[in-house]
Each structure stands twice: as structure tokens, then as C-alpha cells.
Structure 1
């Protein structure tokens, strides 16, 4: 419909040089990738509190007359956007075209550029990268053969489309095609992590740094090769093979723990290095979370932080965590929640209800104690029985949880004084947003795949949960969700911004 954005042509040009065999699949995949990103963008336009949208009209208008399957967004400058009636919980790419006044758009990057909103040009470029990288990721896939994966990192590498609701689901600015093929999990490479020697007396260490990552008086810090080339700008003469996980900067060491590396690139929403305070508090926070998980009757495991190290800067640091696989018993398997739709289990309403019961029971019991998990599909894994029943949860990466000292005190639980101040809050709405936004609007919604399926899975579970102010909010209030597009378009505002989604139980 329109000339391809620069990102498409750039990727095609690089592919012609490094993997020409992928060019036909890449070109064929671009329309589907545009629809996938446009669907995510339309969700944001219709549900996030974007300041340049005056109102959403559910008495829809399109050229030729009203339509029951469309809505109109009135912009403050008088223009109108028309598109399909949105399901904010849908994961299928159901939006193929929207109209700005009378002009049709099938490309999310060009739509955002033509909207002309503040900070829109930069975000439009990211959307173009998201489309191109998604088409590249899909083009590189081969038909699955043989038995399903037996290790959680193999499941993670089957997640091709990235974040189910973020328009930047596959945006990787700063990564060339060669680097995406070499480092991105969906391309299933073995990444060679550099081992950078740093004098031990010049490092901050939490927990136990293993002997095989030491060299005399020096510590060997695993470094992502992208970080070594673009940020540290130094070669390394020793390396370690690892399998990249869906977060890209975290990798599974064969037969061993997972290692979270510093990667100073914008992935999805933000640049995420490993801060010095997060290293110093990592082991303490891990032990604290383990003690709380022990109160949940074996329904929740926390992957232990084994060790963390930094040279005093966020650009050179690493965290070692247990593999979630250690929590699988005989005949059981551990599957990242983001990969559950790939198992076929989510087609069963009864299975979805059982999964909702497990996750809400764990999340709400921990919230009552005083901890709100950021339980999205990347942090949360489920242990399945030999018959695929959801048995227990495994949670990893505690960096963004929220802790309520007041709630903990009500249960006689002491808060370690060394916990980071930024994760402490007694604000009820902040705690609920953290859990409900990640678990209900994220994990359960993406697992169900639609608002109708989500409501059907939640209804019997919420009815049987103990009646508390937190569970009452699930019945009575809109569901909070991070306003991911608003956050990208308002870089001057720090921290999370929120949208309210219609409650599928009402």
C-alpha cells in the first residue's frame, strides 16, 4: 500500500549479503508482521490515556456509514482515526488497516509518523524496526519436528513474536541483521560470552562467585558480545558458550545456571543495564523472597541468586541465577508462561481455569503477605505434571517486585533494612497495579488469547477465592495495564504509566 520504510530495505539489503536464502520468506512475512505490530499499536491508541486523543467513540463511523465492527478516535486537532472494535486482550493480529480520516494505513510506522505527535518520529522508527525484525524472526523459522522441548530454554527459543502487547515487540535498534541472527533467541544460536578478567579487589560481589569464573586474584565477568563490541569496545580471548533466553541478555549455560549480562541496548521499552545497587542487594533479596515463598505450601519456587558481580559500573556486571529446571520433579517439565500457547494446552477452557486458579492463588496470597510480583510471561514459569496439569510456579528476576513493609508487619515479617528503597511501597494501588498489570493483563490475558476466554477462565476462580479487598478489586475495578506506548511517547516522565482495561468479569 505504501513504499516500504527504511528499516525494511535495510534488513533486506543486509540479508542479501549475509543470508540471501531468507529473503523470500522475509518479503512474504512483512504484511503479517505489519499487521501484528499494527494490532498492538491499535490496542494502545484505543485504551491508553494518550493526551492527543480526545475521546473514543463507540458509535463508530467509517467512510460509507456506521459500522458495528469499528470505533472512531477523535483527535484533539480535529482528525479522526477509524479501526476495528478492539479487544485489548487479543493476541491474534486482527488489525490489517486503519484510516486516518479517509486515508488507509496498513503500516504502523507510517501511521505514527503521519500522526505528527510529540516524540512520534523516534517511536515510528522503532516500530519500523519492530516490523522488520519480526518478519526476519518469522522468516528464519523451520517446521518443528520430533518431540517437544525438554528444557525451558528450548521453549523460550520457540517464542518468535516477542511481547504479546507491546508495539515494540521485536524492536532491536543497534543490532545489525548479522547480530540478530547471532544473538537473538528465536534464531537459536549458541552465543559466545566473553570472560573479562577484573581484579577481585576492584569488584563488588554478592553471594558466591563460582571458582570456574575465577582466575587467581581476578574474577571472570561474563560479557555479552554485543556489549563487548559496542559499549566496552574491547576484545576477549576467553569465552563461554550459552543459549540466549527470551530476554536476550539472559542466557542459559549448558548444564548450569542462567547468567544475566549487562546489555546497554534498548530492548522493547528501555535500556536495562545491571545497576550497582541491584548487584549489592541481589543475594539478600533472593533469600528474603525464598523465605516468603516457603509460606505458600510449595506452590511457588524462587530461582536463587547464586552470585552477582560488578566492577562498579552498570556496563560491566553479571548475575548468576539457578536454572528453573532444578524445580522439575520426575516426569515433570518447566515451561515459561509466554510459551504456553505453543503447547496446545491453552485451547482447553478447563486447563486455562486450572492455570488461572494456580497463578491467582499464588499472586494474591503473596500480595496479602506484602509482596507484589511482576508476574509477566518472561518472569513466570509453570511446572507441569506428567499429564500436563499446572502444579507449581517458578519465579525469576526479583529486580522489579514491590514490597509493602506495612503488610509484612501485619504478618509479623521483618523487612531486611538493606532491601532497595525503590521497591518499597505501602501504596495499595501501586501494589495492585504491579501484580494485576503483569499477571491478569499480561500473563493470563496472553495465555487465554482473548477477553472472552480470559473472562471465562477468571470467573469461577475469582468466585472461590477468599474475599479480601484485593480480590474484590478484581470484580469491581478496571484491570490496570502498563501504558507501554504512552511511556515511549513521554520520555520525560520516569517510571511506569498506566492504562485501565475493561474488566472481562463485568
Structure 2
């Protein structure tokens, strides 16, 4: 076994202090975690448009990358839609690398040092996430009864991102306390802020008010690392109330489910996978308008897709102190039905049934393309998109949550007589390429590919799904053009550049490698 990286050793040291019983499982999980992250990294190296890769060659026997400086990077075939950890090692100028962080450091390209540190942390955190897992579906394991229980079963994070479990700024104790895969219960603080100092969108409920003050739910990590640091400035922390909200963290980490009530999206100003996410003041202000708009356009899918309502949002002067209340997806399940995030479907029997996988693809593409024709491009990745399963496991309809990253087209909306909602300017575009990238990159290259688990399975599901869809220009692009996907590796090596895109082999037009 290779010597531990600094991140692996640091987590082991912290784990020995806070949860020593997990240390043997953590150590045993490291080789598999390295392979899982290396597989994701190799996918990016072989498919992202990296400026220092001068040429690519290969096929079923393997892939050779010719670097601009003359070096050769060799590895196994890279199916861009595979989710299993099949890459155990690659060779850089003949030297073998089985650790993704050391490989990235060895490549020595612009920004590779910072990315190598992220990869080391992703590997160590993934091993920690795997260390405490029980045998889901095994003897004594009851089927999840609540939506948040499904989310806690997603252990490995993003199926294609090399930073699938990177949580810089989180100690081991904090990962165990707040990471959904560790199945914690989190106590959200309630920070009282005078109502006159708050921007409120929608209806902020009375049970989160105290006289003339609004009670803002605050994630404990945010309170300890961001609000406390603000000192006596604009975000000076007032004494919290004695009350707290008991909640279960979801895959997004900063969004949590109350035991009997809505989901709470909190501010959590930490870098997760790619970027620091917050709830911008513009998003908070537009949340009620977006919610009404989402409900209205979802009605045009003939019941195929429902959108969870945003009940209320509050911003107390900064994105670092915001919160949003959102309807639970369970509201759209009938008797005996289950609502499962698409990212968790790999833990069900659905991917092993070609008929059900095709049914899911047909549902998702029918709804997604219909909304795209109307002028709404969903970011339907595995967290945002959920599927309602019948009691016997059949996909029957979809639920979409979190409208903050969709795109709307004024021209397309106008063709259907739909007014353009008052949303932030970043959400508005008539660029067909941008609209298709948003939907196809998240839904097909993301949610459906992650569920299918391979290019061959994805191709079979799509072939069945597209057979009877209306022949629109958007469908023609899906059938005939390369499949867009976020170039996640390139993005981490291009800080500040925003979204970058890769053109993946179209699974409907070519065989898998």
C-alpha cells in the first residue's frame, strides 16, 4: 500500500482522537477511495478539453494522452458514463501512479498544486465517509421510510466529480457531525434579527418569529466559522435563542429536513466539490416569484413533473446569513409511494431493470424537453431531480426542487404566451446552446448516466426513451450532436473561469469503449 498522503494522515490522526473505533475501517477504505477518485480524474483527463493535452489516441485496449511537453500519460479505456471505480493506476512517462493527488502533482501543469491538495482531501474524506457504512439492503436493514433516509445512503457523492467528497474547512469531528452519510441529527441555531433589517420573500412563518424579530435558522458550521469571524461588523452575532431546530442533513449538506415539516436551506459558506455556494440576496428576493413560476410551468407537463414550493426566504443583510424554507418532496407521494433522489437510485433495483431505467429516461426527457421548448431549462442533476416510485418500484412521475440555477428564455416563453418572471439576470438567456447545456449536461450526462452506470446501459435507455418524443430542434441536438457535460477537471484547473464544457461521445451515435 502506498504511504498515506498528508490529508490521509491528518484525517487518521484526527479520527484516532475523536472516533478511534472507526480508524481500522478508514484505513481499509483508503485504497478503494483512491481508485474511486482516480477513476473520476481519469475521466476528466481523457475527455475535458485541457489545453496542455496535445493529442489523444486509443480504444478498447487503453488510452494514451500526448502532453504538450512531450510526456505520455497512459491508462485504461475511459467510459465517460461509467460509475464503477475501474481505474486502479495510470502511467506517466512509464512511472505508475495509483494515487490521484500524486498524479496531479506529477503532471505539474498550471494550478495543479492546489487541485492536488483538493484531490487528496477528497480521497481521505471519501474513505471517512465509507468507513462507518452498514450493509445497505442487507440483513436487518429496513427500507427507508423518509426522504432524508434515502439521501443518507448516498455515500460517495458526485458520481463523476474528482472532488466528490472534498470538504475543506471541515474537521473530522465536523464531517461526522454534519455529513448526511454519517447519519447525524443536526441542531440548527435560531438567530433573532429585527424584521426591519431583513429581506423576506414569500411568507416567513409565525413559528420562526419572535415579536418583531425574525428567527433565521443557522447551520452550526456557519455559526462557528463564518458568523463568529464577522465579529462586530455587519454580521455581528447576536445571542441565539434557546430554541433550536432538530434536522436531518440532505445530500446538499446545507439543506436539512425537519422531522415533520419543510426542508431548510441554510447558508453554508464552504467550498463543496467545485465552488463556495451561498444563497445570494438576488436568489432570496426572487424565491417567491420563482416558486410561483415553477409551479405554473410544471402544470404544462401533464402531471409528469411537480416542483416543490418555496414557502419563504429570509436574508439578514448578507448571503452569509440567509435561509429558505422549501416544501418536502414527500408532499407529492401517494399511499405506498416513495420519493427517491435520482442520485440514490443506484441503491435500488431500478438500474438493474432495463425496462424501468428506460421508463425513467422517458419520463425525464419528456418533461425536460417539454419545459425546454416552453423556455425553461432545468438543472436536473441527481440532487435536484427526484423520482416517485410506485409500491412495486415503477417510476411514475418526477419531482424537481431548488429553482435557483435554472435558465429561462424570453423568446421561447413569448412564443407560448408566458410572461418572463422577474429573476436575476444570470438566469435569463435565449442562447440555445446554453439552454441545452443546462438541461442535457445535468439530466443526461449527469442524472441518467449516473443511474445507468455505463455508456451501454445509458444508450439502451435513451434509445427506448426517444423513440416517441416530438421531433423538435432540441431533440435533434440530443440525437445528433456530442453530449455536453461540465468539464469538472478543467474547471478546477481554471480558477475563476466559470463553467467550462466538454463534448462527450453521444451514446446514441457511437458504441461504448
Q: Structures share a fold, TM > 0.5?
A: yes
2: CA distance between counterparts of 1:381 and 1:330? 17
**Post-superposition offset of 1:240:** 1.2
**Post-superposition offset of 1:467:** 0.7
From 163, 167, 183, give the equivalent of 2:178: 183
2: CA distance between counterparts of 1:157 and 1:231? 26
CA contact (8 A) 1:198 1:311 kept: yes
**Post-superposition offset of 1:289:** 1.0
Matches within 5 A, 1:242-253: 242-253=247-258
Cα deviation per residue 1:416-454 (whole Å; 9 max; x = unaligned)? Answer: 3x2211100000000000000000000110110000000
**Post-superposition offset of 1:143:** 2.5
Match of 1:401 in 2: 406
TM-score, normalised via structure 2 length: 0.95
CA contact (8 A) 1:462 1:474 kept: no
SS of the equivalent of 2:466 reads: helix
**Post-superposition offset of 1:463:** 2.2
2: CA distance between counterparts of 1:2 and 1:20? 22
From 207, 211, 215, give the equivalent of 1:212: 207
Matches within 5 A, 1:190-339: 190-233=185-228, 234=237, 236=240, 237-339=242-344
Match of 1:23 in 2: 23
2: CA distance between counterparts of 1:492 and 1:393? 34
From 130, 135, 150, give the equivalent of 1:138: 130
Match of 2:500 in 1: 497
**Post-superposition offset of 1:333:** 1.1
Match of 1:117 in 2: 109
From 462, 471, 480, give the equivalent of 1:458: 462
Cα deviation per residue 1:471-502 (whole Å; 9 max; x = unaligned)? Answer: 11121111000011111111131x31100100
**Post-superposition offset of 1:415:** 1.2
**Post-superposition offset of 1:152:** 1.0
State yes or no: 1:88 paired with 2:80. yes
SS of the equivalent of 1:159 reads: coil
From 344, 347, 357, give the equivalent of 2:349: 344
SS of the equivalent of 1:264 reads: coil
1: CA distance between counterparts of 2:80 and 2:135? 30
SS of the equivalent of 1:259 reads: strand
Which runs of 5 or more structure 2 residues have no equivalent in the other structure?
229-236
2: CA distance between counterparts of 1:238 and 1:228? 15
**Post-superposition offset of 1:2:** 3.5
1: CA distance between counterparts of 2:412 and 2:128? 47
Match of 1:63 in 2: none
**Post-superposition offset of 1:238:** 3.2
**Post-superposition offset of 1:275:** 0.8
2: CA distance between counterparts of 1:296 and 1:452? 29
Greater mean alpha carbon deviation, residues 454-463 or residues 184-193:
454-463
Match of 1:440 in 2: 444
Match of 2:232 in 1: none
1: CA distance between counterparts of 2:381 and 2:164? 14
Cα deviation per residue 1:293-320 (whole Å; 9 max; x = unaligned)? Answer: 1111111111100000011101000000
CA contact (8 A) 2:135 2:141 kept: no
**Post-superposition offset of 1:27:** 0.6
Match of 2:396 in 1: 391
TM-score, normalised via structure 1 length: 0.97
Q: Size of the alignment, in residue pairs?
A: 496
**Post-superposition offset of 1:274:** 1.0
Match of 1:64 in 2: none
CA RMSD of aligned residues (A): 1.0
2: CA distance between counterparts of 1:264 and 1:420? 20
2: CA distance between counterparts of 1:190 and 1:387? 30
From 43, 63, 71, give the equivalent of 2:63: 71
